[in-house]
Amino acid sequence: MSSQGFGPGSPKSFRYPRGGTDFDLESGIARKGRKPKNPHLEASILMRIRYFYEVHPVAVAAILLSFGLGVLVLLSVYEARFRTMGSGGAWSSEVGEYPFPNLRNLVMVAGHSIYTSANCGKTDREDSWFLEPYQKHPGQAATFLAHIREGVDIAGKDDGALLLFSGGETRKDAGPRSEAQSYWAIAESKGWFGEFWTTWAFLLSCALVVSYDFKEERFAQLHRTALGFPEGRFFFSGTPATPTAREAAQKGEAAVRAQFLEDPYGCLGSLHEKRLKRDPFHRTIPYPDGCPELKSLFSYCGPVPFSGHLPWIE
pLDDT band at 41 (very low <50, low <70, confident <90, very high): low
pLDDT score recorded for residue 209? 97
**Is the distance from CB of 133 to CB of 204 less than 8 angstroms?**
no
Residue 118: band (very low, low, confident or very high) from pLDDT cuts 50, 70, 90: confident
CA distance 292 to 8: 82
Model pLDDT, residue 63: 80
Compute the mean pLDDT over every residue in the chain, rounded to the nearest whole number.
80
Could you give the C-alpha distances from 249 to 33, 38, 245, 252, 253, in angstroms and in order? 79, 85, 6, 5, 6
Per mean pLDDT, which of 111-115, 204-208, 280-284 is the most reliable? 111-115
Lowest-pLDDT range of 37-46, 138-147, 160-169, 207-216: 37-46
pLDDT confidence tier of residue 313, bands split at 50, 70 and 90 = confident
pTM: 0.66
Give pLDDT tens digits for 13-26: 444 445 444 444 33
Residue 288 identity (one-letter amino acid): P
Average the pLDDT over 214-221 and give the result.
Answer: 98
Q: Could you read off the pLDDT of 87-114 as tens digits, one per residue?
A: 444 444 444 466 777 888 999 999 999 9
Contact (CB, 8 A) for 107 and 164 = yes
Residue 205 binned pLDDT confidence (cut-offs 50, 70, 90): confident
Residue 283: pLDDT band with limits 50, 70, 90: confident
pLDDT tens by residue, 151-203 = 999 999 998 999 999 999 999 999 999 999 999 999 999 999 974 554 433 44
Residue 155: how many other CB atoms lie within 10 Å:
25
Is the model's pLDDT at 285 over the cut of 60? yes
Residue 314 has pLDDT above 80, yes or no: no
Helix (H, G, I), strand (E, B) or coil at 54: helix
The pLDDT assigned to 39 comes to: 58
pLDDT tens digit sequence for 253-276: 999 999 999 999 999 999 999 999
Q: How far apart are CA 103 and CA 159, in angstroms?
A: 8
With a cut of 60, say whether residue 122 has pLDDT above it. Answer: yes
* Strands annotated E in the chain: 21-24, 29-32, 105-110, 114-115, 129-130, 161-166, 206-212, 234-239
